[in-house]
Amino acid sequence: MEKALRFRIGDAVVIAAVLLAAGALALFLLLPRPAEAPTVEVYQNGALLYALPLDADTRLSVGGDYANVVVIEGGRVYVESAACPGGDCVHAGAISRAGQSLVCLPNRLEIRLVGQSDVDMIAR
């Protein structure tokens, strides 16, 4: 004689546990992760001088052929003053997102924001 297959309470518990685990895994994989603050990298003549977090307020004096004052404050970085002719780096304003950069050509100075960009966050 064959036994008829019956749905039991234990079956319901196993199905519920599997569905709960699948839902938790889906939430873990699909929810956006908090972005880390970008890192401010300051280069002169292609050499890295400083690597600082964007969320730490700092003022840097960078020498060279022309002096620059670089300021990190309020989650932004900008060149406050420059002794170079024209001062294009000062007029460029502040940057705050990974992938952006500021350049002072006469002083061979480059300021890069490195980290996870907003575009990467959208693609996740």
Q: How many whole angstroms separate alpha carbon 53 and alpha carbon 62?
A: 17
Which structural domains are found in the chain, ordered by start? Answer: 39-123 (2.60.320.10)
Residues 70, 62 contacting (CB under 8 angstroms): yes
Q: Which residue has the higher pLDDT, 4 or 2?
A: 4
pLDDT digits (tens, 9 = 90+) for 22-71: 999 988 888 877 667 789 999 999 999 999 999 889 999 999 899 999 99
pLDDT digits (tens, 9 = 90+) for 80-115: 999 988 889 999 999 999 999 999 999 999 999 998
| Strand partners for 73 | 76
